[in-house]
Copies of this chain bind each other. A is one copy, B any other.
Amino acid sequence: MGVTERPFVVERAGDTIPGILWSPEASAGPSPLVLVGHGGHGEKRNRNGLAMARRLVRRLGYAVAAIDAIDHGERGPIRPPDHRAYRALWHKPDTFDRMSADWQATLDALSDLPSIDSGRVAYWGLSMGTMFGVPLVAAEPRIKVAVLGLCGFTGPSADRGRIATRHAAEAPRITCPVLFFVQWHDERFYRQGAFDLFDQVGSKDKRLHAHPGAHGELPAAEATDATIAFLRPRFSSAQEA
Protein backbone atom coordinates (compact mmCIF):
# COMPACT_ATOMS: atom_id res chain seq x y z
CA MET A 1 0.00 0.00 0.00
CA GLY A 2 1.38 3.38 -1.00
CA VAL A 3 1.81 6.14 1.57
CA THR A 4 0.96 9.76 0.85
CA GLU A 5 2.83 12.41 2.84
CA ARG A 6 1.26 15.87 3.10
CA PRO A 7 2.62 18.79 5.13
CA PHE A 8 0.03 20.98 6.84
CA VAL A 9 -0.06 24.03 9.05
CA VAL A 10 -2.43 24.82 11.90
CA GLU A 11 -2.76 28.37 13.22
CA ARG A 12 -3.71 28.82 16.84
CA ALA A 13 -3.55 31.87 19.10
CA GLY A 14 -0.74 33.45 17.06
CA ASP A 15 1.23 30.18 16.86
CA THR A 16 1.95 28.41 13.61
CA ILE A 17 2.05 24.64 14.13
CA PRO A 18 3.67 22.75 11.27
CA GLY A 19 2.64 19.14 10.81
CA ILE A 20 2.70 16.18 8.45
CA LEU A 21 -0.13 13.81 7.59
CA TRP A 22 0.68 10.35 6.27
CA SER A 23 -2.22 8.44 4.79
CA PRO A 24 -2.99 5.44 2.61
CA GLU A 25 -2.81 6.23 -1.09
CA ALA A 26 -6.00 4.31 -1.66
CA SER A 27 -8.59 4.06 1.07
CA ALA A 28 -12.02 2.44 1.22
CA GLY A 29 -13.32 5.09 3.61
CA PRO A 30 -12.42 7.22 6.62
CA SER A 31 -9.35 5.89 8.46
CA PRO A 32 -8.48 5.87 12.13
CA LEU A 33 -5.89 8.54 12.98
CA VAL A 34 -2.78 8.16 15.11
CA LEU A 35 -1.29 11.39 16.51
CA VAL A 36 2.45 10.91 17.05
CA GLY A 37 4.28 13.11 19.54
CA HIS A 38 8.05 13.13 19.04
CA GLY A 39 10.70 12.96 21.76
CA GLY A 40 12.86 15.71 23.24
CA HIS A 41 15.26 17.34 20.75
CA GLY A 42 13.34 15.64 17.94
CA GLU A 43 10.98 16.92 15.30
CA LYS A 44 7.90 15.78 13.42
CA ARG A 45 9.77 13.87 10.73
CA ASN A 46 12.38 12.13 12.88
CA ARG A 47 13.71 8.85 11.54
CA ASN A 48 11.98 6.42 13.92
CA GLY A 49 8.71 8.33 13.81
CA LEU A 50 8.74 8.39 10.03
CA ALA A 51 9.42 4.65 9.81
CA MET A 52 6.61 3.92 12.26
CA ALA A 53 4.17 6.24 10.50
CA ARG A 54 4.79 4.48 7.21
CA ARG A 55 4.35 1.07 8.82
CA LEU A 56 1.08 2.06 10.50
CA VAL A 57 -0.27 3.34 7.19
CA ARG A 58 0.90 0.29 5.22
CA ARG A 59 -0.01 -2.41 7.72
CA LEU A 60 -3.20 -0.96 9.24
CA GLY A 61 -4.41 1.48 6.62
CA TYR A 62 -4.53 4.20 9.29
CA ALA A 63 -3.64 7.88 8.88
CA VAL A 64 -0.81 9.25 11.04
CA ALA A 65 -0.12 12.87 11.95
CA ALA A 66 2.87 14.49 13.64
CA ILE A 67 3.50 18.10 14.62
CA ASP A 68 6.59 19.92 15.80
CA ALA A 69 6.41 20.39 19.56
CA ILE A 70 6.89 23.86 21.04
CA ASP A 71 10.46 25.11 20.45
CA HIS A 72 11.27 21.99 18.36
CA GLY A 73 11.75 21.44 14.63
CA GLU A 74 10.54 24.37 12.56
CA ARG A 75 9.41 25.98 15.80
CA GLY A 76 13.06 26.01 17.03
CA PRO A 77 15.37 26.95 18.77
CA ILE A 78 15.87 23.46 20.23
CA ARG A 79 18.42 21.45 18.30
CA PRO A 80 20.37 18.54 19.76
CA PRO A 81 22.34 18.79 21.93
CA ASP A 82 20.98 22.14 23.10
CA HIS A 83 20.07 21.19 26.64
CA ARG A 84 19.68 24.80 27.78
CA ALA A 85 16.80 25.61 25.43
CA TYR A 86 15.25 22.23 26.16
CA ARG A 87 15.39 22.78 29.89
CA ALA A 88 13.96 26.27 29.49
CA LEU A 89 10.89 24.74 27.84
CA TRP A 90 9.99 22.99 31.08
CA HIS A 91 10.26 26.19 33.09
CA LYS A 92 7.68 28.03 31.02
CA PRO A 93 4.48 27.88 33.05
CA ASP A 94 2.20 27.28 30.05
CA THR A 95 4.21 24.61 28.23
CA PHE A 96 1.84 21.70 28.95
CA ASP A 97 -1.34 23.64 28.29
CA ARG A 98 -0.02 25.12 25.05
CA MET A 99 1.03 21.73 23.82
CA SER A 100 -2.33 20.14 24.63
CA ALA A 101 -4.07 23.03 22.86
CA ASP A 102 -1.77 22.63 19.83
CA TRP A 103 -2.72 18.97 19.55
CA GLN A 104 -6.39 19.71 20.04
CA ALA A 105 -6.34 22.38 17.31
CA THR A 106 -4.55 19.88 15.07
CA LEU A 107 -7.17 17.26 15.80
CA ASP A 108 -9.94 19.80 15.08
CA ALA A 109 -8.39 20.53 11.68
CA LEU A 110 -7.75 16.90 10.72
CA SER A 111 -11.21 15.82 11.84
CA ASP A 112 -12.63 18.01 9.06
CA LEU A 113 -10.96 15.83 6.42
CA PRO A 114 -13.30 13.25 4.86
CA SER A 115 -10.46 10.69 4.90
CA ILE A 116 -10.25 10.80 8.72
CA ASP A 117 -12.54 8.90 11.09
CA SER A 118 -12.56 11.26 14.07
CA GLY A 119 -14.27 8.59 16.16
CA ARG A 120 -11.13 6.46 16.10
CA VAL A 121 -8.16 8.56 17.21
CA ALA A 122 -5.07 7.33 19.06
CA TYR A 123 -2.13 9.16 20.58
CA TRP A 124 1.39 7.69 20.42
CA GLY A 125 4.29 9.39 22.17
CA LEU A 126 7.27 8.24 24.21
CA SER A 127 9.64 10.16 26.47
CA MET A 128 8.80 13.86 25.83
CA GLY A 129 5.89 12.49 23.81
CA THR A 130 4.57 11.08 27.09
CA MET A 131 5.53 14.15 29.13
CA PHE A 132 3.15 16.07 26.84
CA GLY A 133 0.92 13.08 26.21
CA VAL A 134 -0.28 12.45 29.76
CA PRO A 135 -2.04 15.83 30.13
CA LEU A 136 -3.31 15.64 26.55
CA VAL A 137 -4.77 12.15 26.79
CA ALA A 138 -6.25 12.97 30.21
CA ALA A 139 -7.97 16.05 28.79
CA GLU A 140 -9.05 14.94 25.32
CA PRO A 141 -11.96 12.49 25.12
CA ARG A 142 -11.56 12.11 21.34
CA ILE A 143 -8.35 10.14 22.02
CA LYS A 144 -9.58 6.57 22.42
CA VAL A 145 -6.26 4.67 22.73
CA ALA A 146 -2.78 5.78 23.82
CA VAL A 147 0.73 4.38 23.55
CA LEU A 148 3.00 5.97 26.14
CA GLY A 149 6.24 5.27 27.98
CA LEU A 150 9.96 5.93 28.42
CA CYS A 151 8.83 8.36 31.08
CA GLY A 152 8.06 8.34 34.76
CA PHE A 153 8.01 10.15 38.06
CA THR A 154 11.74 9.97 38.81
CA GLY A 155 15.00 10.62 37.03
CA PRO A 156 18.30 12.45 37.42
CA SER A 157 17.03 15.77 36.07
CA ALA A 158 15.77 18.35 38.54
CA ASP A 159 12.91 19.12 36.18
CA ARG A 160 11.38 15.69 36.71
CA GLY A 161 9.82 16.65 40.02
CA ARG A 162 7.71 19.46 38.55
CA ILE A 163 6.60 17.32 35.65
CA ALA A 164 5.88 14.40 37.97
CA THR A 165 3.59 16.58 40.05
CA ARG A 166 1.51 17.35 36.99
CA HIS A 167 1.57 13.75 35.77
CA ALA A 168 0.53 12.43 39.19
CA ALA A 169 -2.53 14.65 39.07
CA GLU A 170 -3.48 13.80 35.49
CA ALA A 171 -2.54 10.15 34.96
CA PRO A 172 -5.51 8.89 37.02
CA ARG A 173 -7.82 10.80 34.65
CA ILE A 174 -6.64 8.72 31.69
CA THR A 175 -9.24 6.04 31.11
CA CYS A 176 -8.67 4.87 27.54
CA PRO A 177 -6.65 1.71 26.76
CA VAL A 178 -2.91 2.36 27.25
CA LEU A 179 0.16 0.45 26.11
CA PHE A 180 3.19 1.64 28.09
CA PHE A 181 6.85 0.99 27.23
CA VAL A 182 9.62 0.82 29.81
CA GLN A 183 13.34 0.49 29.16
CA TRP A 184 14.71 -1.64 31.99
CA HIS A 185 17.96 0.33 32.24
CA ASP A 186 16.53 3.77 31.45
CA GLU A 187 19.03 6.37 32.64
CA ARG A 188 16.71 9.35 32.13
CA PHE A 189 13.57 8.03 33.79
CA TYR A 190 14.19 5.54 36.53
CA ARG A 191 12.42 2.21 36.22
CA GLN A 192 10.57 2.46 39.51
CA GLY A 193 9.22 5.89 38.63
CA ALA A 194 8.03 4.58 35.27
CA PHE A 195 6.22 1.73 37.06
CA ASP A 196 4.67 4.30 39.39
CA LEU A 197 3.41 6.41 36.48
CA PHE A 198 1.95 3.31 34.82
CA ASP A 199 0.39 2.34 38.13
CA GLN A 200 -1.30 5.73 38.36
CA VAL A 201 -2.83 5.58 34.86
CA GLY A 202 -6.55 5.26 35.48
CA SER A 203 -7.30 2.90 32.59
CA LYS A 204 -8.52 -0.59 33.35
CA ASP A 205 -7.23 -1.80 29.99
CA LYS A 206 -3.50 -1.13 30.19
CA ARG A 207 -0.33 -3.04 29.38
CA LEU A 208 3.32 -2.52 30.24
CA HIS A 209 6.06 -3.89 27.98
CA ALA A 210 9.60 -3.70 29.33
CA HIS A 211 12.73 -4.25 27.27
CA PRO A 212 16.34 -4.35 28.41
CA GLY A 213 18.55 -1.40 27.60
CA ALA A 214 18.92 2.35 27.99
CA HIS A 215 16.43 5.13 27.26
CA GLY A 216 17.31 5.28 23.58
CA GLU A 217 17.40 1.53 23.01
CA LEU A 218 13.74 0.58 22.65
CA PRO A 219 13.65 -1.85 19.69
CA ALA A 220 11.72 0.25 17.18
CA ALA A 221 10.33 -2.52 14.98
CA GLU A 222 9.16 -4.53 17.98
CA ALA A 223 7.53 -1.42 19.47
CA THR A 224 5.72 -0.88 16.19
CA ASP A 225 4.57 -4.52 16.14
CA ALA A 226 3.27 -4.18 19.71
CA THR A 227 1.56 -0.90 18.79
CA ILE A 228 -0.17 -2.56 15.86
CA ALA A 229 -1.23 -5.54 17.97
CA PHE A 230 -2.62 -3.13 20.56
CA LEU A 231 -4.41 -0.73 18.20
CA ARG A 232 -5.89 -3.21 15.77
CA PRO A 233 -8.44 -4.97 18.02
CA ARG A 234 -9.38 -1.68 19.70
CA PHE A 235 -10.10 0.05 16.38
CA SER A 236 -11.27 -3.02 14.55
CA SER A 237 -13.48 -2.55 11.53
CA ALA A 238 -13.93 -3.97 8.07
CA GLN A 239 -11.57 -1.33 6.68
CA GLU A 240 -8.48 -2.82 8.25
CA ALA A 241 -5.86 -4.90 6.53
Enumerate 6 A-B pairs (CB-CB under 8 Å) in ascending A order. Answer: A191-B195, A205-B212, A206-B212, A207-B209, A209-B209, A229-B229
Collect the chain B residues with CB atoms within 8 Å of residue A208's CB.
Answer: 182, 184, 208-210
The main secondary structure of chain A at its interface with chain B is mixed
Which residues of chain A from 173 to 217 have any CB-CB distance to chain B below 8 Å in the complex?
182, 184, 191, 195, 198-199, 204-212
Given contacts A198-B210, A207-B209, 14 further A-B contacts (CB under 8 A): A182-B208, A184-B199, A204-B212, A205-B212, A206-B212, A207-B210, A207-B211, A208-B208, A208-B210, A209-B209, A209-B210, A210-B210, A225-B229, A229-B229
Number of interface residues of A (CB under 8 A): 17
A185 nearest in chain B by CB position: B199
Q: How far is the CA of A184 from the CA of B206 in the complex (A)?
A: 10
Q: Chain B's nearest CB lies how many Å from the CB of A203?
A: 8
Interface mask (A211-234 → B, CB under 8 Å = 1, otherwise 0) = 110000000000001000100000
Collect the chain B residues with CB atoms within 8 Å of residue A210's CB.
Answer: 198, 207-210
Query: Chain B CB within 10 Å — which of A191, A207, A211 has the most?
Result: A207
Which residues of chain A from 12 to 71 have any CB-CB distance to chain B below 8 Å in the complex?
none
A207 nearest in chain B by CB position: B211
Q: Chain B's nearest CB lies how many Å from the CB of A149?
A: 12
Collect the chain B residues with CB atoms within 8 Å of residue A212's CB.
Answer: 204-206
Q: Chain B's nearest CB lies how many Å from the CB of A234?
A: 12
Collect the chain B residues with CB atoms within 8 Å of residue A225's CB.
Answer: 229
Collect the chain B residues with CB atoms within 8 Å of residue A191's CB.
Answer: 195
Collect the chain B residues with CB atoms within 8 Å of residue A207's CB.
Answer: 209-211
Q: Across the A-B interface, give the 9 residue pairs with the lowest CB-CB distance, nearest first.
A: A208-B210, A209-B209, A206-B212, A207-B211, A204-B212, A207-B209, A225-B229, A207-B210, A208-B209
A212 nearest in chain B by CB position: B206
Q: How far is the CA of A207 from the CA of B206 in the complex (A)?
A: 17
Which residues of chain A from 122 to 174 have any CB-CB distance to chain B below 8 Å in the complex?
none
Q: How far is the CA of A188 from the CA of B194 in the complex (A)?
A: 23
Collect the chain B residues with CB atoms within 8 Å of residue A229's CB.
Answer: 225, 229
Collect the chain B residues with CB atoms within 8 Å of residue A206's CB.
Answer: 212
Q: Chain B's nearest CB lies how many Å from the CB of A218?
A: 11
